[in-house]
Amino acid sequence: MSDTNYLLVVLGMGLVTYIPRWVPLFFLSQRRLPLWLIEWLDLIPVAILSALIFPDLFTTSEPRHLELFQIKSLVAVPTLLFSLKTKSLGGTVVVGMILYWLADKLIG
């Protein structure tokens, strides 16, 4: 692979990644948003977070298949309970890591 080709790949990737990040911020931050849009957008974070987490916890890759009970999902239960109880971001991260590490030692 030539250097120019690699530069093109990187610039092309950068451009197509930047555009979807930039368009809504540029066009929506400059105007008053209608209430229905704000209410709809209000539900986007919880939806995206779940859509990112669930497949991460309940499937395994290559080839992707369902695996409801694996270390990741099992550790998620006490991690979730800890988070609900404490509402602490840092604490949840540390507890999750320790539990995962222990579970990996014991089961994995």
Footprint (CB under 8 A) of another protein, residues 68-87: 72, 75-76, 79-80, 83-84, 87
- As beta bridge partners, residue 65 has 60
Verify binding: residue 106, another protein, rule CB under 8 A: no
Residue 49 is a binding residue for another protein (CB under 8 A): yes
Q: How far apart are CA 49 and CA 40, in angstroms?
A: 15
Rule CB under 8 A: say whether 35 interacts with another protein. Answer: no
Question: Is 24 among the residues that bind another protein (CB under 8 A)?
Answer: yes
Backbone angles phi, psi at 66, to 5 degrees: -70, 130
Q: With binding defined as CB under 8 A, does residue 98 bind another protein?
A: yes
Between the alpha carbon of residue 37 and those of residues 16, 27, 32, 43, 76, the distances in Å are: 25, 13, 10, 10, 32
65 forms part of the interface with another protein (CB under 8 A): yes
Which CB sits closer to another protein, 42 or 69?
A: 42
CA atoms of 106 and 100, how far apart (whole Å): 10
Number of residues that bind another protein (CB under 8 A): 75
